[in-house]
Amino acid sequence: MRRRRMQRRIVLLLVVTVFVLAAVIAVSDGVIKKPQVNQPDVEQLSSTGEEQSLRKDGFYTVLVCGTDDGNGGSDTIMLAAVDTENKTVNVVSFPRDTLVNEDWTVKKINSAYNRSGIDGVKEQVEKIGFPVDFYVTVDLKAFIQLVDAIGGVDFEVPINMNYDDPMQNLHIHYTAGMQHLSGQQAMEVVRFRHNNNGGGYPMQDLGRIETQQAFLKTVANKMFSLSSVIKIPEFARIFFDNVKSDLKLGEMIWFGNQLLEIGTDNISFSTLPGAPADVYGGSYYVLDPEACLALLNTSFNPYNEALTMADMNIRTAG
């Protein structure tokens, strides 16, 4: 169970590259189509009395969910806000133990996939208050294959890692510092949470999220720099075998082109504000409603009007 849980988390590292791959794969194919979102029927009046759309132009939110080929739930959950007008991408991680406002025995967001698949995860993210336009699910196998396909990556391992689980044939041994990692090695580094002696990241899951986000940007940088077309067939196979989405291929190509223009320097990462706590008979990540609302309106609100606490449904320890 622990191994599956750890594996599911690292799948998120493919997501920023997914749309770029779609653009590269379909260069000779392709139909490029701007995604259409459900626009509210009501228009609002601006301060000058003119009608304006309730939604921001060129602003999209994409839910990213990592899967493990049907062997369980998903605790790899991120939301990406792509602002094509201001040329920015913001990505927020939802910790797997995030407390949700449900009457479930285990009230964690990573239980939602087991209960009702990607629709269940989307429902919980939107209950917290973050609107979702589209989703992308990525299978674990694609992570190792992609890192190997780009020739591995040079990555600054943040801490010494010494972990062994003979029952799972899992052995993670790396020294802090710059390392050249293959796909398998990269998976081990981003799966790491603690050492055999219990040491490791001061806050295990949050520390691992930071490493995963840093690794994601490293992979994205290398993908953006690729120029050889010889890799296109391999990328295509990885992409089509392991990615599912409600976006059509032409829409993914459009997103890919936008991301190529935005560039990795304008991609920012954060984690949903909150703190670990022992509540409701278990260990949870309890959200800070006011901080979540501030993050939402700063980076993830697709509407022209600010959202309020009334738009959020966050369960707290109280």
Question: Tokens at residue 45, please?
Answer: 């009046």
Contacts 24+ apart (CB under 8 A), 31-39: 31/249, 31/250, 31/253, 32/250, 32/253, 32/254, 32/257, 33/248, 33/250, 33/251, 33/253, 33/254, 34/251, 34/254, 35/60, 35/133, 35/134, 35/247, 35/251, 35/254, 35/255, 37/133, 37/302
pLDDT at residue 195, rounded to an integer: 92
Low-confidence ranges of the chain (pLDDT < 70): 1-31, 39-52, 68-73, 75, 140, 168, 204, 224-233, 236, 318
Contact in structure between 129 and 313 (CB atoms under 8 Å): yes
Question: Tokens at residue 159, please?
Answer: 């801490």
DSSP H helices in 226-272 = 232-242, 249-262
Residue linked to tokens 């169970």: 1
**Cα maximum dimension of the chain:** 69
User: What is d(CA 179, CA 181) in angstroms, rounded to the nearest whole number?
Assistant: 6
What residues contact 291, with CB distance under 8 A and at least 6 apart?
A: 273, 274
* CA nearest neighbour of 37 among 136, 138, 132: 132
Helix axes of 183-191 and 2-10: crossing angle, nearest 10 degrees = 110
Which residue segments constitute the domains of the chain, with CATH numbers given? 2-35+54-144+229-301 (3.30.420.590)
DSSP H helices in 11-72 = 15-25
Question: Tokens at residue 161, please?
Answer: 């890692």
pLDDT at residue 146, rounded to an integer: 85
User: What is d(CA 317, CA 298) in angstroms, rounded to the nearest whole number?
Assistant: 25
Question: Tokens at residue 211, please?
Answer: 């490493």
pLDDT at residue 45, rounded to an integer: 43
Contact in structure between 154 and 180 (CB atoms under 8 Å): yes
What residues contact 132, with CB distance under 8 A and at least 6 apart?
A: 61, 62, 63, 79, 122, 125, 126
Question: Tokens at residue 165, please?
Answer: 């689980």
What pLDDT, in 10s, does the model give residues 243-300?
888 988 778 878 877 887 888 789 899 999 999 999 998 999 999 999 999 999 999 9
Q: What residue type is assigned to position 29 of the chain?
A: D
Q: Supply the DSSP string of 110-168, one letter for each residue.
A: GGHHHHHHHHHHHHHHHHHT---SEEEEEETHHHHHHHHHTT-EEEEE-S-EEEEEGGG
**List of E strands, the chain:** 44-45, 51-52, 59-67, 76-83, 88-93, 134-139, 153-157, 161-165, 170-174, 177-181, 243-245, 267-271, 274-279, 282-287
pLDDT at residue 66, rounded to an integer: 78
Contact in structure between 78 and 15 (CB atoms under 8 Å): yes
